[in-house]
Amino acid sequence: MNNKVIQIGRITKDLELKSVGSDKVVCKFNIAVDRKFKKEGQPTADFFNCEVWGKTAEAMCNYTSKGSMISVGGRLRSGSYEKDGTRIYTTDIVVEDVTFLDSKKAVNEDSEPVVVEEGDDELPF
């Protein structure tokens, strides 16, 4: 069995690239994914914590911003930590590939989506 997830949503805030060690970069962000069925009084979207590394993280920080629609594919990672004596459980998407469905750098509305996969040495932009 494989651990694979794909979500389409909008970035909830502007992205920030962070250095980890001397040669790695990471970007952590959230996406809001609309719910198909909405009940009155219930949230209309789910929010997912995401983490992306390397050249894909660099591309995301350069070509997307708050409100950008993206598709992320990757794996789920669960964890936990303790805060004020209470165990907090987390589930994050470790992004392996991303498709920019629109972007602040888009030339026009007819442009094709851009797909970036981890390990791409030559990005298409």
pLDDT tens for 62-95 read: 999 999 999 999 999 999 999 999 999 999 999 9
Domain span holding position 86: 5-117
Residue 114 is predicted with a pLDDT of 59
CA–CA separation, 24 and 18 (whole Å): 9
Residue 107 is predicted with a pLDDT of 40
Residue 3 is predicted with a pLDDT of 93
Residue 4 is predicted with a pLDDT of 95
State the DSSP H helix or E strand holding residue 24, giving kind and residue range, or none if neither: strand 24-34
Q: Is 100 among the domain residues?
A: yes
Q: Environment class of residue 73 by beta-carbon count within 10 Å: exposed (0-12), middle (13-18) or buried (19+)?
A: middle
Residue 39 is predicted with a pLDDT of 79
**Partners of 11 in beta bridges:** 31
Q: Is 28 among the domain residues?
A: yes
Q: Is 125 among the domain residues?
A: no
- Please list, in sequence order, all residues whose beta carbon lies within 8 angstroms of the beta carbon of residue 103, skipping any fewer than 6 positions away: 63, 64, 68, 114
Percent of the chain with pLDDT over 70: 81
Q: Is 124 among the domain residues?
A: no
Residue 115 is predicted with a pLDDT of 62
Q: Is 58 among the domain residues?
A: yes
Task: Report how many domains make up the chain.
Answer: 1
Spans of the chain below 50 pLDDT? 103, 106-108, 123-125
Task: Assign residue 61 the CATH number of its domain.
Answer: 2.40.50.140
Q: In Å, how far from its chain's centre is CA 23?
A: 21
State the DSSP H helix or E strand holding residue 81, giving kind and residue range, or none if neither: strand 69-83
Q: Is 122 among the domain residues?
A: no
Task: Look at the block and give the residue holding tokens 């952590």.
Answer: 28
pTM recorded for the entire structure: 0.75
